[in-house]
Amino acid sequence: MAHDLRTAARPIDHLALSGAAEDPALLLRDTVFTFEDLRSRIGALGAWLNRALPEPGARVASWAAKGELSCLLPLAAARAGLVHVPINPLLKRAQVAHILKDSGARLLIGSPARLATLEPDDIAGLYRCVGEAEALAEADGVDAELGPSSADPDSLAAILYTSGSTGRPKGVMLSHANMWLGAESVATYLGLSAADRTLAVLPLSFDYGQNQLLSTWYAGGAVAPLDYLTPRDVVKAISRYDITTLAAVPPLWVQLAELDWPVEAAARLRRLTNSGGALTVPLVRSLRGLFPQARLFAMYGLTEAFRSTYLDPALIDSHPTSMGRAIPHAEILVINDAGTIAADGEEGELVHCGPLVAQGYWQDPERTAERFRPAPAGSGHGGTAVWSGDRVRREADGLLYFVGRRDAMIKSAGNRISPQEIEDAAIATGLVAEAVALGLPDERLGQAVHLVARALGDPAVAQAELPRRLAQELPNFMQPKAIHWREVIPVGPNGKLDRAGLLEELTR
């Protein structure tokens, strides 16, 4: 079954062919691109990329705000036979330098202000570093557009970097088939059509954010990308672009639910989709009250398999805490500690099987072997599965419920954050001898970052300087909400810093 689905997939740049030529595809602040325009712009940018990086499979990275380039590049890079590496625009120099080096990127396109923060060593491996406006201008000057690609659907199309529970971000390898079938799956269960308009507020470097584009274009609809400063900007954009579909993470939903919505803006929305953290029962009730005509989709996913489950909107009022059931093209199993399929009501690990499973971590066979393992006995798909590390249970009605995470990942405002990355940054300042980063429950963020630290040298200097230094080195979403200073950080029986004990202490 998985093989049949993969062979039915097409190269991801073929999404530009989905809509009618005259229908709108991309809604920018001062320009509307029809699907005919989209095809032409992707063909021109693909031809420019092909000349800039003639080596098949070379990596092209982007580090830019949402706009024409960031929306076109996922398809244009594929059309040119390259591998796209989108970088979260919120990241700072150290994280970006790691991604560039780890991916082996040869071309970086970004906003000039961001590019100016990089040091010569950070871009030493690049063939070229170019501003987004300059890249688009050069693409406008190409004398021939590149036609649709004939890439093998199983070939690599993108590398999305996601934080792990230890160490720096790791690159998840996505094939054309992964992305095509993900777009088809979401467009199908959301019921998207050519009449829909999606407001893309999530970062396009996230799998969920990128799928805002891909699933909408698969259905022949239009996308309006938005980098918002305040939640009120989202409301205004919904009215301006006549938006029908809005995807967000719980912290943004909390903020949007607190606003006074104009009746006409609220009435435009037909569907709301959530991932990156669970919706609380009070939040579900708020959203249902504000948007009674909109279908509310609660979803669960992981970058390694794109997305796993969704809850039918008809069940959101009666089962607001459920993760739902498997999305189209996914097989979701619950495996107990004995390694067999769990009984109804029994807790186990969520295992995702099927053609949405990514190809592993870029140049990291050790971590790939830990997470990407043979599907368990009883799988209808077989092959390689993603063992999520998340504990869930399936009830007799088939609905899944989240129980907890096995690892130490912090999930804050929809971002997956590596505790070690924060700890390493703190210790690298020279102000801290030991550090433990934890995620504590937070009503608005899901989890808030807290840092327990032992000063190196003068405690007064460390306490005064560490917040300022972390603000320079880490993106905003990684900043600790609070730093808890200790003269001694306790250790557990294994001699390691006692994370569990500290978490229990701070959550009392």
Q: Where are the domains of the chain?
A: 410-506
What are the strands, taking DSSP E only, across 15-142? 24-27, 32-34, 59-63, 83-86, 107-110, 128-131
Name 377's bridge partners: none
Q: At 122, which amino acid appears?
A: D
Task: Please state, in angstroms and rounded to a whole number, the distance separating the CA atoms of residues 465 and 491.
Answer: 26
In angstroms, the first-to-last Cα distance of the chain is 49
Instruction: Specify whether the CB–CB gap between 206 and 254 falls below 8 A.
Output: no
Q: What is the pTM for the complete model shown?
A: 0.86
Q: Which residues lie closer than 8 Å to 463 by C-beta, 6 or more apart?
A: 455, 483, 485
Q: Which residues lie closer than 8 Å to 53 by C-beta, 6 or more apart?
A: 60, 80, 82, 106, 107, 127
Q: By three-state DSSP, how is residue 31 classified?
A: coil
Task: Please state, in angstroms and rounded to a whole number, the distance separating the CA atoms of residues 447 and 437.
Answer: 12
Task: Please state, in angstroms and rounded to a whole number, the distance separating the CA atoms of residues 208 and 162.
Answer: 12
Q: Alpha helix (H) ranges present in 300-434?
A: 365-371, 419-428
Q: Max alpha carbon distance in the chain (Å)? A: 68
Instruction: Specify whether the CB–CB gap between 420 and 165 falls below 8 A.
Output: yes
- The DSSP symbol for 361 reads B
What are the strands, taking DSSP E only, across 77-188? 83-86, 107-110, 128-131, 156-162, 170-175
For residue 41 the two structure tokens come to 């712009």
Does the structural domain 410-506 have CATH classification 3.30.300.30? yes
Name 170's bridge partners: 162
Q: By three-state DSSP, how is residue 462 classified?
A: helix
For every one of its 508 residues, what pLDDT tens digit does the chain have, with 9 covering 90 and above? 344 665 689 999 999 999 999 999 999 998 999 999 999 999 999 999 999 999 999 999 999 999 999 999 999 999 999 999 999 998 999 999 999 999 999 999 999 999 999 999 999 999 999 999 999 999 999 999 999 999 999 999 999 998 755 567 899 999 999 999 999 999 999 999 999 999 999 999 999 999 999 999 999 999 999 999 899 999 999 999 999 999 998 878 988 998 999 999 999 999 999 987 778 888 899 999 999 999 999 999 989 998 999 999 999 999 998 999 999 999 999 999 999 999 999 999 999 999 999 999 999 999 999 999 999 999 999 999 999 998 899 999 999 998 876 667 888 988 888 887 898 899 889 999 889 999 999 988 999 999 999 999 999 999 999 999 999 999 999 999 999 999 998 876 555 678 888 999 999 8
Q: At 112, which amino acid appears?
A: P
Task: Please state, in angstroms and rounded to a whole number, the distance separating the CA atoms of residues 409 and 407.
Answer: 6
